[in-house]
Amino acid sequence: MEISKETDFAEGQILLFDKELTWTSFDLVKKVRNIVRIKKVGHAGTLDPLATGLLMVCTGKATKLIQGIQDAEKEYTGTFTLGATRPSFDKETEVNKVFDFKDLTADDINKAAESFMGSIEQTPPIYSAVKVNGRRAYEHARKGEDVKLKSRIVEIRDFDVVKIEMPIVYFRIRCTKGTYIRSIANDFGLKLNNGAYLSSLRRTRIGEYKIEDAMNVKEFEKIIREE
């Protein structure tokens, strides 16, 4: 990605960032907007604060491309932790139930992963940005309000168990848009008659765009603001 302080961001640029842990997707958009000094900046696909990896930001006329980028296939790596559940399906909330996982085998875990291949029905986490009655689901959840989310059909094209270090399962998933890896983590625990939550997540690819070609926001700021 050839970027310099002379780049015309209003004309339109697609920027590849490696989002930092704890940043929201909009935090990154606000930072980029401040650096390039134009208002028309948007991201092409939300990445949770507790996830890292590829977040694509479009500026100026390139914001018209956001929908097409969002529709592209995604790839993730990360870890599930077995033996416990959390209401948010990740580390945002505290453990609410624990399970004995000592009898789970590698064969059990690999078979569970295989069962997710193809088109599956999943329900987004209640701690998600899905809108319910005009508000984000996580706003209801954080207030202890009961919310019902509609299930959706997504496609899991690859689900590889890369390594097992009980209770940690390392994975790589290739999937269609709208897939919640946190929901897969929770459902993965259910498949094993146990519990599981997403303990780390990194997005490595969106369509043809790869994390290897991304930069961090500090590098970007240095390029644009250097004297």
**Residues labelled catalytic:** 48
Contact in structure between 95 and 218 (CB atoms under 8 Å): no
CA 170, distance to chain mean position in Å, is 16
Of the candidates 111, 100, 117, the one whose C-alpha atom is nearest the C-alpha of residue 164 is: 111
DSSP H helices, the chain, are 25-36, 66-70, 106-114, 137-142, 181-191, 217-225
What is the distance between the alpha carbons of residues 146 and 126, in angstroms, rounded to a whole number? Answer: 9
Largest CA distance in the chain: 61
Phi-psi region of 46 (alpha: psi -120 to 50; beta: other; left: phi over 0): beta
- CA dist list (Å): 183 to 27, 69, 218: 24, 22, 32
Q: Which residue has the tokens 């940005």?
A: 129
Q: Return the structure tokens found at 44.
A: 């092409």
H/E element, 81:
strand 74-82
Contact 46, 64 (CB under 8 A): no
